[in-house]
Structure 1
C-alpha cells in the first residue's frame, strides 16, 4: 500500500508539473501572438458613404508612422529586441487580418539613420524589410523622416541619396492606384531655401501640378501628360502641415496636457506656413497624412487663395507605431475612391495590458493547479484507503 501511495504521489506531482508547463506555454503564446489578433480583429475597413458603379473599386490602404527602429547607439539590446518583436507581430497580424493593397510608412523608419555609417544603414534597411514584410500583391511606399536623414540643416547629399536609392523614396513622388493619386513628399525638402534637394522637390511638385491641371481639363495646362482619370490628390509626408500647436487636437490619443499647448516651431515640429500654403495651392489636396509628433490629431483645413476659390480638406496626424514612443501604438486603415477618403484608427495592445494579462493568467493557472491538486489528492486517498487521511 505504501508503494502504491508513493507511486500515486509521483504521478500526481508529474501531472501538476505538466499542466504548469503547458499553462506557461499557453500564456506565452497568448501574450506574444494571440493578443494581437484579439485586439486588431476589432478594427475593420471603414465603409463608404456612397454607392458606386461596379467599375469603381476602392483602394484599401494601411498607414503607419514613426517605427523608430533602434540602432547600435540608443537603448538596451533587450529593449531593441522586444520592441522590434512587438512591431513585427502587430504588423504581420494586420497583414493577415486586413490584407491591404498598399502600405504607406510616413517617415522615421530608423531612429539613428542620420548618424549610422554605410554598413549599419544597409543592415537597418534589411531589418526593416524583414520586420515589415508585405505579402505578394501589396505595395509598400516609404516617406523619409528627419531621423532617417536628419533635419534640413544637417542633410548631406549622401544621406539623402542612400535613403532614396535603398527605399525608392525621391524628394517628391506621384503614385496612382485605381485612379487615386498620392503625392509622397520629403518634408525636409520643403525648406524653401533653394538648396539642391529643395529645388528637386519644387520642380517635381510643379510638374505634378501641371499633370493634375491637364488631367482636370484646365486651360492653364502647359504639358501633355494626362492621368487616366482626375481626382484631387492625397498628400503623404512626415511632418504635419503648419499649425500653431496641438491645442486644436481633441482625440483621446492626442498629445497629453500641458504638452498639447506648446507652440510648434516651423520647419522643426511642422512645415512652415509658406510651404504649407505652397503645397495646398499647387496640389489642391483632398486629404493629407503626416506623422512626426507621435500623437493623433485631425485638422479640418480651409484655405482661400482667392476670393472666389476655396480649398477644403482634412489632415490626419498618425500616431507612432512603436511602443517606445507611446503606450498605445496606432495605425490607420483607409478606404479610398476618387470621391471619398474614409478612415479607421486601429489600436494595438498597451504594454500594461500585456503585462496585466500575463499576471492574471498566471494567477489563474496557479489557482487551477491548486484546486486540481487538492481534488485529485482527496479522490485518490479515498480510493486507496477507503477514507480521507
Structure 2
C-alpha cells in the first residue's frame, strides 16, 4: 500500500517453470543436469539483479512456477502418465526448496529499497496449468499441496492503493468442461451435483462473494494507513433473549480502489486479435491491423492446457470483479501480448507477461514493472 506521495512499483513474473524431468523427457545425463543447473542460475541471477537494481515494492508471480508440478504424486493422487509416477511428494518438496533458493532467498536483496512503512510484498499463490493441471484434469490433492506451500490462490490484496484480485482460472475453467468420470456437463443430472464441482466451486464461491472480500481488504488497508485497529467483528450491546446471540457488524463498504485482475490464463479475445509490437516471436505484419493471426495468441487447447479462457468464464469473472476494473495481467503464453478488452466497460487493458526463463521458447526473457499511483485521503479512501 503506497503512501500518499510515493508511487508503488510492482514487478510481475510469469512462467519461471523450473526445468525438471517433465520439461525435456528422455534428455540424457549429463545434458539434463546441466540444463537444470544453468536455467536455475539464469533465473537466480535475473531475479537477484531485479531486486538489487530496481527493488520493486511488490513482486507478483502469475503461475506456472514449476513445469511438472501437476504430475508429481501426493499421498492421495498420482500422475495420469505412468512415466511420471515414480516422482513422489518428496520430489515435489525438493522442487519447492529449489524455488525458495532461487526466488525467496534473493527477494531479501531488495530490502534496501523499502519506500513504505508496511514493507514489501511477495505473492506466489496464483497457480498455472503446469502447477495444477487445467479444468477437469486438476486433482484436488495436487491443488491442496500447492496452496499449502504457496498460499491462497483466490485472494484480494490492496497494494499501492489498488485492489488486486487473483483468480484461480485453471480451476474455474472446469465449469466449462465435461466431467471426466460421468461425461455430464451443464447443470448436472438433477441430483444437486454439478459436473466437476469439487474443482471449480471454491473459485466460484470466491467470485460470488467478491464484494465482501473487496470490502474487507479495502477497509483494512485504510485502517492501516490511519494506524487504526481492525475494529469489532461483532456488535457489543445488550439484546433481547429471543434475538440471535451473535450479531455481526454490517459488511464493510467497498472503498472503490482501482482494480487489477490477475489470471494465469489470458482472457478470451476474438481470434487473430493483435498482441502489439512487443511480441517477440511474431511482430506485427503491418501497423494498425485489426486482425493479425501471426501476431495473436493462437486459439487452441490440448492435454492440460487452453490458450485463452472461454467467453463464458471471462465474462463471469469480469462481471463479478466489479466496475472499477482498470487492468489485467496474465501469463501462460510465454511471450508478451498487450490488448484492450473493448467488450467490457472501460475497455481494460490486458498484458500477458513474458516468461522469465530462457527455456520457454523466448530468446529474450522478461518481466513487467508497473508503477501504481493513487494518492488518497486515508480517512475516506477518496483521491
Q: State the Cα distance separating 1:113 from its structure 2 match.
A: 0.3
Cα distance in 2 for residues equivalent to 1:57 and 1:180: 14
Q: State the Cα distance separating 1:280 from its structure 2 match.
A: 1.3
* Residue in 2 that maps onto 1:241: 267
Deviations 1:38-59 (A, max 9, x none): xxxxxxxxxxxxxxx9734322
Distance 1:255 1:126, change over 3 A: same
Which of the two has greater strand per residue? Answer: 1
Distance 1:150 1:339, change over 3 A: farther
Q: State the Cα distance separating 1:238 from its structure 2 match.
A: 0.6
Q: Please state if 1:127 is matched with 2:127.
A: no
* Residue in 1 that maps onto 2:367: 331
Aligned pairs (5 A) from 1:304-315: 310-315=345-350
Cα distance in 1 for residues equivalent to 2:92 and 2:368: 28
* Residue in 1 that maps onto 2:70: 114
Deviations 1:306-365 (A, max 9, x none): xxxx3321110001111011110010111113489xxxxxxxxxxxxxxxxxxxxxxxxx
Cα distance in 1 for residues equivalent to 2:296 and 2:159: 38
* Residue in 2 that maps onto 1:375: none
* Residue in 1 that maps onto 2:326: 286
Distance 1:216 1:162, change over 3 A: closer
Selected match of 1:200 from 199, 202, 211: 202
Which of the two has greater helix per residue? Answer: 1
Greater C-alpha Rg: 1
* Residue in 2 that maps onto 1:348: none
Cα distance in 1 for residues equivalent to 2:136 and 2:216: 36
Other structure's SS at 1:158 match: helix
Other structure's SS at 2:51 match: helix
Deviations 1:198-247 (A, max 9, x none): 11111111212345479999xxxxx9333684213111121001123454
Cα distance in 2 for residues equivalent to 1:69 and 1:253: 23
Cα distance in 1 for residues equivalent to 2:158 and 2:3: 20
Aligned pairs (5 A) from 1:211-290: 211-212=213-214, 224-226=250-252, 229-245=255-271, 247-256=273-282, 259-260=294-295, 263-265=298-300, 268-284=306-322, 285-290=325-330
Q: Please state if 1:181 is matched with 2:137.
A: no
* Residue in 2 that maps onto 1:59: 8
Unaligned runs of 5+ in 2: 25-31, 73-87, 112-118, 177-193, 220-248, 284-292, 377-383
Aligned pairs (5 A) from 1:1-150: 55-75=4-24, 76-116=32-72, 117-133=88-104, 134-135=107-108, 137-142=119-124, 143-150=126-133
Cα distance in 2 for residues equivalent to 1:139 and 1:261: 32
Distance 1:339 1:316, change over 3 A: farther
Cα distance in 2 for residues equivalent to 1:178 and 1:228: 16
Q: State the Cα distance separating 1:255 from its structure 2 match.
A: 4.0
Other structure's SS at 1:324 match: coil
Cα distance in 2 for residues equivalent to 1:146 and 1:54: 36
Unaligned runs of 5+ in 1: 1-52, 218-222, 305-309, 341-389
Q: State the Cα distance separating 1:251 from its structure 2 match.
A: 2.1
Contact kept in structure 2, 1:179 and 1:228, CA below 8 Å: no
Q: State the Cα distance separating 1:261 from its structure 2 match.
A: 5.4
Q: Please state if 1:316 is matched with 2:359.
A: no
Distance 1:215 1:127, change over 3 A: closer
Contact kept in structure 1, 2:158 and 2:218, CA below 8 Å: no
Contact kept in structure 2, 1:66 and 1:109, CA below 8 Å: yes
Q: State the Cα distance separating 1:279 from its structure 2 match.
A: 1.3
Other structure's SS at 1:131 match: helix
Q: TM-score when scaled to structure 1?
A: 0.65
